[in-house]
Amino acid sequence: MAETPVPSGAVLVLGGTTEGYALAAALHRAGVPVVSSFAGRTQSPREPEGALRVGGFGGVAGLARYLGDTGTALIVDATHPFASRMGWNADGAARETGVPLLRLERPEWVPAEGDRWDAVPDWETAADLLERDARCVFLALGRQELDPFARLDGVRFVIRSVDRPDPMPPFREAEILLARGPFDLAGETALLQDHGIDTIVCKNSGGEATRAKLLAARDLGVRVVMRQRPQRPQTPRVGTVAEALDWIRQNGPFGL
Ligand code: NAP
């Protein structure tokens, strides 16, 4: 993916998420200089509007240096709710440099009547739960998160991933479905039924793009093992792109 020249005095959007793309587009269209930053994990991500840089900064010190070098005016941490290290790094670098930091984080999913959810703090706990009584499990998680499940005997896995896991952990029985969201209710219902899924394992990402599997699970009485979100630093936080734009209007030098 091609990086583009970084304008000075821009808003740095730590992205890779639906919200990150939407915020970059809104700022770019409003004439505000914006740079999206991606970690570089996905092989061929969609290009954001505005400028783009790719790859880690090198911890808090590296990010602080980048902020100084580019004269970044403001940071929006719009990384995924489970990408917490970047959030802590952004907090550290913002404190060190005095650059204002906003967290844009989509609200969590909450269970409703008919849902059968087990909340877990990590994947090891999820794997222990599956070992007890699961037979056919839909793993809807990142390809780097599969290892703790490969040790389970007697469980058949259906794994959905954007890119092919490489290396593939040594599962006894696993089928890979390569797909990128959004996913709809009809498709998710068919997937659960066609594979005879009794348990879904996923994380509480929130948002609409991957929510349909939970609605399908509710309809079909399928259990969901849901990983809870990690802790984040105490920073100003909003849940929507519109709220982020308001905050930038009030805290940035852009005359929005
Ligand atoms: P992480 O644990 O928070 O970050 C690990 C390291 O990756 C960071 O210390 C940083 O390296 C680099 N990094 C992370 N996000 C970056 C960004 N936007 N720009 C530049 N460097 C970044 O994150 P992760 O869980 O590995 O996720 C990586 C990226 O994928 C995130 O940007 C996130 O939004 C996206 N994503 C994650 C998930 C998930 O479930 N974790 C799901 C969908 C999308 P340095 O310390 O060298 O700066």
Find out whether the beta carbon of 17 lies less than 6 Å from any atom of ligand 1. yes
CA distance 143 to 139: 10
The pLDDT profile of the chain, 256 residues, written as one tens digit per residue, is 677 777 888 999 999 999 999 999 999 999 999 999 999 987 788 999 999 999 999 999 999 999 999 999 999 999 999 998 999 999 999 999 999 999 999 999 999 999 999 999 999 999 999 999 999 999 999 888 999 999 999 999 999 998 899 999 999 999 999 998 899 999 999 999 999 999 999 999 999 989 999 999 999 999 999 999 999 999 999 999 999 999 999 987 876 6
Other CB atoms within a 10 A radius of the CB of residue 221 amount to: 10
221 residue type, one letter: G
**C-alpha 21: how far from its chain's center?**
12
d(CA 142, CA 124) in angstroms, rounded, equals 15
Smallest Cα–Cα separation from 81: which of 140, 22, 20?
20
Gap between the Cα atoms of 65 and 59, Å rounded:
10
The finding on whether 14 has its CB within 6 A of some atom of ligand 1 is: yes
3-state helix, strand, coil split of the chain in percent (to 5) is: 35, 20, 45
Q: Is 58 in the pocket of ligand 1 (CB under 6 A)?
A: yes
What is the distance between the alpha carbons of residues 138 and 141, in angstroms, rounded to a whole number? Answer: 9
pLDDT value, residue 6: 79
Residue whose CB lies within 8 A of the most ligand 1 atoms, among 85, 104, 203, for a mutation test: 85
pTM equals: 0.85
Rounded distance from Cα 62 to ligand 1 centre (Å): 14
Give how far Cα 23 sits from Cα of 11, 44, 197, Å: 10, 20, 36
Is residue 188 classed as helix, strand or coil in its secondary structure? helix
Residue 38 beta carbon below 6 angstroms from any ligand 1 atom: yes
3-state secondary structure of 34: strand
Q: How far is the CA of 244 from the centre of ligand 1 (A)?
A: 20
Residue 221 DSSP symbol: T
pLDDT of residue 2: 74
SS3 147: helix
Residue 27 CA to residue 34 CA, distance in Å, equals 7
Three-state SS for 228?
coil
Tokens encoding 109: 């999913």
Q: Which atom of ligand 1 is nearest to the CA of 79?
A: 34
pLDDT for the residue 237? 96
The residue whose CB lies within 8 Å of the most ligand 1 atoms, and thus the one to mutate among 3, 54, 86, 123, is 86
